[in-house]
Amino acid sequence: MRPRYVSEDGFAINQKKPRSKYTKRRKKPKKLINIIFSQKTTIILLLLMQFLQIFLAFTYLSSNYTYLSVFFSTIGIGVAIYIVNTDRNPAYKLAWLVPLLIFPVFTTILYIILSNQPYKRKVSNAYVEKNLDTRDFLPEDTELTDKIKQDDPELYRLIRYLDDSAGFPAYCCEDITYFPLGEDKFEAMVRELKSAEKFIFMEYFIVDDGEMWGEILDILIEKAFAGVEVKLIVDGMGSQFTMPARDIKAIEKAGGRVLIFNRFRPMMSTIQNNRDHRKILVVDGNVGFTGGVNIADEYINRLIRFGHWKDTAVMLRGQSVWNLTMMFIQMWEVISQESIVYNRYRPSEPTEKPETQGIVVPYSDTPLDSEKIGRMVYLSMINNAKKYVYITTPYFIPDNEILSALDLAAKSGVDVRIITPHIPDKWYIQCITRSYYLELLNMGVKVYEYVPGFIHAKNTLSDDKRAVVGTINFDYRSLYLHFEDAVFMQDTSCIPDIKEDFDDLFLNRCHRITYEDIRNLSFASRFCSIILRIFAPML
C-alpha cells in the first residue's frame, strides 16, 4: 500500500511521486515559441483558415448577395425539411434549425459539407460489419437466460435487448470489485498489470504525461520486453496533445503496439465528433477494468485542478471479462484492418461454477449505428425503479426522453437524486447543467453538487438491486456521439459498496440544491444558459 496523506477536504491522496525509468516525467513550462509552433496551434489555425475561406467567398460574391441569399435560402428550406423528417432527437434538430433561420447561407453550406462524408460512411460500415462478424464469438448462455426469463421478466427484457442490439451477453457474476476513488482503481490496476503473463489490452480516451502514466509505462515496457503481448488504443483527440510521442516509440521498441483512434485532422468533419471515450483494461483475459478513470494525474489526485477529483471504476474477474476483450478486439481490427485469432484471448475456464449471486453484462455503445444502447439502459434503470434511482454524472445535458422519464419517476413517488460537480472542468457545461436545476426541482427530483471539487463518476443505482458503472455521461456527446462502455449489474456483491458510496456523498460530500440557490445564480449565468442550451446537442 502506497503512503497517503489527507488533503484539506478529508480525502486520501497519494504522496509517493515516482518517475519513469524510461522517460523524464517532469513537465516544463512551454515557451511562447513552442506554443506558436505546436501541433495544437497548427490545427487551430488550419480550422480557422477553412472558416475564413467561406467568409471570403461570401465577401467576393457580395455584389450578387441578393441572388446568393435567395438561392441558399431556398436550399436551406429543403435542408430544414430534411432535418425535421430525420429520426434524430428533437433537441438536435433544433440546434440546426435555429442557425438555419439566423444564418441560412452559411449554415446550409456547413450542413451539406458535414453531411456528405464518404470517409465517415466507410468507418461506420467497417465497425458495424465487425460487430456483426464477432457475434458468433459472444454466444448467450441459454440456460442462464431461460432461468432469468422465468424468475425476473423485467431483467430478461433488458439483457435480451443488450444481447440482440449490442451483441453482448449476460453472465453469472463471478467476482466484481467497486472502486469509489480513482486512487483505489489505480492501485489495483498496477497490481494486475505487474501480474500479466500473456497479454495486456488498454483502451483509453486520455493518456496524459505524468506520474500515473509514468508508472504504467514502466510496467508496459518491462512486460513487452518479457514477451507479454501489449496493445494500447488511445483516442486521437483526447490524447493527441497529452501523450508524448517518445512514449509510443518506447512501447513499440519493446515489442508493444500503439494505435490512435480517429486521429484528429484539421478539417471540418462530423467524424471528428465521434471519439473513443471508453476506458478498458484487460489482463490475460481474466481481469478487466472499466469506469470513468482516464490515465492522468488529476484522476488520482496527484494533480489538483478542480478541487478533489472524485471518480469510480469496477474490476471484473472471470468469464464476463470476455465482453471487454471483444470490445477491444473489435476496435483494434477496425483501426488496424488486421485479423485476430479471437480464441487466443479467451478467459481461462473456471474450475467450478461461481457461488456469487447476481448478473453482470459489460456492454458498449457506438455512435455509428441507429441504436443508442447507453441511453436505453439508463431509461430502463429510471423507468423500472420502484423505490429510488441515484445518478452521478459530470455533465448533465439530457434529451427530452430522459427528462420525461425522470419526471414520471419522481412524480410516481420514486426518490430520484442527481449529483453533479460544484467545481466544473468546463464552465459552459456547468452553465447548461445548472439551467436544468429549476426544471428538475419542479419535477420533484433532488439535485446535489459535489462540494469538494469535480465528480467525474458515471454511476446509476436503483433499489439496492441494479447498478451501472462505466464511461457514459448524461449528455449528448456520450449518448449520441461517442464510443462508450459500461457494466450493468443486478444483485452483485458490490451493489452494497456502491450504495454506501452514494450515502456518503449525500451525507458528507454534497450540497443539496434549493430554490434559493437557483435564485442566487448570476444574471450572466442565466443569460449564458439560455443561449448555450439551444446549442447543447452540438457541444
DSSP states along 31-79 = PHHHHHTSHHHHHHHHHHHHHHHHHHHHHHTGGGHHHHHHHHHHHHHHH
313-317/175-179 β-pairing? antiparallel
Which residue in the list 308, 372, 458, 465 is annotated as catalytic?
A: 458
- Told to judge if 511 belongs to the known catalytic residues of this protein, a careful annotator would answer no
Q: Is there a contact between 386 and 196 (Cβ–Cβ < 8 Å)?
A: no
Backbone angles phi, psi at 335, to 5 degrees: -70, -50
Which residue in the list 247, 463, 475, 485 is annotated as catalytic?
A: 463
Q: How far is CA 394 from the centre of its chain?
A: 11
- Told to judge if 456 belongs to the known catalytic residues of this protein, a careful annotator would answer yes
446-450/510-512 β-pairing? antiparallel
CA distances to 116, 158, 400, 405 from 379, in Å: 32, 11, 11, 7
Of 342, 313, 322, give the one whose Cα is nearest residue 187. Answer: 313
| Alpha-carbon gap, residue 355 to 433, rounded angstroms | 43
Query: If you count DSSP H runs as helices and E runs as strands, how many of each does the chain have, helices first?
Result: 20, 20
Q: How far is CA 480 from the centre of its chain?
A: 11
Question: Quick one: 535 exposed, middle or buried, by C-beta within 10 A (0-12, 13-18, 19+)?
Answer: middle
| Angle 337-343-345 from CA coordinates, rounded to 5° | 80
Which residue in the list 185, 231, 277, 422 is annotated as catalytic?
A: 277
Measured from the Cβ of residue 212, the count of other Cβ atoms closer than 10 Å reads 28
DSSP states along 416-458 = EEEEEESS-SSHHHHHHHHHTHHHHHHHT-EEEEETTEEE---
Q: Is there a contact between 461 and 495 (Cβ–Cβ < 8 Å)?
A: yes
| Alpha-carbon gap, residue 205 to 287, rounded angstroms | 20
What residues have CB less than 8 Å from 346, skipping those under 6 apart?
A: 285, 322, 325
Which residue in the list 185, 223, 231, 279 is annotated as catalytic?
A: 279
Q: How far is CA 42 from the centre of its chain?
A: 27
CA 236, 239, 240, 246 torsion: positive or negative?
Answer: negative
| Alpha-carbon gap, residue 502 to 373, rounded angstroms | 25
Nine-digit cell string for 28:
516544463
- Told to judge if 279 belongs to the known catalytic residues of this protein, a careful annotator would answer yes
- Told to judge if 399 belongs to the known catalytic residues of this protein, a careful annotator would answer no
Q: Report the half-sphere exposure of 141 (CA within 13 A, side-chain side).
A: 16
3-state secondary structure string across 328-378 = HHHHHHHHHCCCCCHHHHCCCCCCCCCCCCCEEEEEEECCCCCCCHHHHHH
199: left (phi over 0), alpha (psi -120 to 50) or beta: beta
Which residue in the list 120, 308, 456, 482 is annotated as catalytic?
A: 456
Which residue in the list 175, 284, 407, 485 is annotated as catalytic?
A: 284
| Alpha-carbon gap, residue 341 to 482, rounded angstroms | 27
Residues taking part in catalysis: 277, 279, 284, 456, 458, 463
